[in-house]
Amino acid sequence: METLINDFSPGLFAVQTILLLLLIFLMVKFAWKPILGSITEREEGIQDALDAAEKAKREMANLQADNERLLQEARLERETMIKEARELKTKMIAEAEADAQAQAHKMIEQAQAAIEGEKKAAMAELKTHVAGLSLEIAEKVVRKELSNKDKQLELVETMLGEATLN
């Protein structure tokens, strides 16, 4: 440190001071404003990017909310459609069952009517057959009675044994 003080030259110091001040003046005059301008411009660019990112974040949140709302609406519509389809299915099944029961009742009534008609026809045929047998028996009895009483009884019993009701 002592050598620095011994080698100190006031002229050199003054020249160096003037050069330093001149350098600072030139830097302030020509470099300081562009440097500050570029720093300010960079800060503004960063702030704009941050603002754009915040805006995009808000838009994404809005889009998510809209998507969630649309999804909820779609779910509700799907549930409504499923409910309507189930109700329609139940209604169609009930109608089909009612139609089937009505047709079954109609078929049963037709079958009963056919059975009743066949029964009446069979009874009429049976009556006709019995009437015919009765006439035959009466005719034979009358003939035999006129000829012989013992033979008539025997004939009636034989004919009754032979006659079968179908």
Q: What is the pLDDT of residues 54-97, one digit of tens each?
A: 999 999 999 999 999 999 999 999 999 999 999 999 999 999 99
Percent of the chain topping pLDDT 70: 91
Q: Contact at 8 Å (CB) between 152 and 141?
A: yes
Mean pLDDT of 112-129: 91
| Separation of alpha carbons 67 and 117, rounded Å | 73
Q: Tell me the residue type at 138.
A: A
Percent of the chain topping pLDDT 90: 58
**Does pLDDT of 142 surpass 80?**
no
**Does pLDDT of 1 surpass 70?**
no
